[in-house]
Amino acid sequence: MVEPPVAMTSDTAFSIERVRSITGSSAVNVSRLVLSTHTGAHADAPLHYDDAGADSASRALDPYLGTCRLIDVSSARGAVLPAQIGERLDACPARVLLRTARVAAQDRWDEDFTAIAPQTVDLLAAAGVRLIGVDTPSLDPQSSKTMDAHLRVLAADMSILEGLVLDAIAEGDYELIALPLRIAGADASPVRAVLRELRARTIE
């Protein structure tokens, strides 16, 4: 999976600047990064949708590492509903990734991305899922002011990955590695998200 280069159009644009270069007075190159905490593939912290929520530095890493199930819901329109995934949750691992698009929007902002219905979050929580991952910028629609899906995640103490690129990934179970950075005070953290074929032993 590769992180898309764009965040929300009103958010902080990504930039990189060389501040030290290898010259007679410097033995190394050093750069400065400027980016939103929600750039590309990222892990939302509860602080993003709850003023009293935990920051990125306070979140356990377990949800972001272990067996996951990728479910293709690219035929969904508007929002992914419980009926569209319910039959695919048998013996489900603790992490579910939802592929909502055939091709993720990496070079533009798609205002009509597929959201996740709050009831679908409830279904996943009832199935023992601890992490929801999506190939969109958010679980909730862009126009949402109530953040219903995020708040259902908060109530169930689940974790969120957003902005994944799942274009070439077939449905099935994989090993997920997508660790957030331990940034105190951060409402989210960019991640390098990787899926691997399951081996004989994986972290549950």
**Tokens linked to 180:** 């957030």
Closest alpha carbon to 106 in 171, 41, 170, 181: 41
Beta strand pairing call for 131-134 and 95-99: parallel
Catalytic residue chosen out of the listed positions 38, 42, 48, 150: 48
38 is catalytic: no
Rounded percentage of the chain residues whose pLDDT exceeds 90? 77
Residue type, 115: A
Residue type, 74: S
**Residue 83: which H helix or E strand, with range?**
none
> Hey, where are the domains in the chain?
40-196
Residue type, 48: H
Q: Does residue 108 register a pLDDT over 80? A: no
Q: What is the pTM of this model?
A: 0.88
Closest alpha carbon to 160 in 138, 175, 176: 138
Q: Does residue 143 register a pLDDT over 90? A: no
What gap in Å lies between CA 12 and CA 195, rounded to an integer? 28
pLDDT of residue 3: 40
pLDDT of residue 2: 36
Residue type, 152: R
What gap in Å lies between CA 54 and CA 71, rounded to an integer? 28
Per residue in 50-77, pLDDT tens? 999 999 999 999 999 999 999 999 988 8
CATH class of 40-196: alpha beta
